[in-house]
Structure 1
Amino acid sequence: MVKDALRVDVIRNASYHIRIPFGSLMLSRFCGTVLAQIIFIPAAYWIKWVVPYL
């Protein structure tokens, strides 16, 4: 009986610890995507401006 209770508690804690890194990973990927857009869009306009002069 005690072993079953401990087993359920371990499973609950494992699922909690899996959700936290997954959420932080998704937030990190979102922030990286936004940062890439902030960097690459002006770079694309700069390339568009420079290419006619080459």
Structure 2
Amino acid sequence: MSNATKLQNVTLQSEQDAVQLANETNRLDAALKQMKEELKSYVNEHGGCGYGRRSVELL
């Protein structure tokens, strides 16, 4: 699994910039959905897990 993507400040200056940003947000949405599915599968098989002050239970 890869590390989290570092957020960047974005300044849109053209339609092309907007299209690139839209494509990137779509890619990130798809990646997040896949990661949540992987986490859900893990929790279904192994039960909840804790990290820091939070815990992951059946989603």
How far apart in 1 are the matches of 2:15 and 2:45? 46
Identity of aligned residues (%): 3
Aligned match of 1:40: 43
Relative contact order, higher structure (CA 8 A, sep 6+): 2
Letter in 2 for 1:27: A
Match of 1:22 among 1, 15, 25: 25
User: Higher strand fraction: Structure 1 or Structure 2?
Assistant: 2
User: Higher helix fraction: Structure 1 or Structure 2?
Assistant: 1
Report the count of equivalent residues: 35
1:40 is displaced (CA, Å) by 1.2
Aligned match of 1:49: none
- Once superposed, what is the RMSD of the aligned Cα atoms? 1.2
1:26 is displaced (CA, Å) by 0.5
Bigger Cα Rg: 1
Q: TM-score with structure 2 length normalisation?
A: 0.54
Q: TM-score with structure 1 length normalisation?
A: 0.59
Poorly superposed stretches of 4+, deviation over 6 Å: none
Letter in 2 for 1:41: N
How far apart in 1 are the matches of 2:18 and 2:41? 35
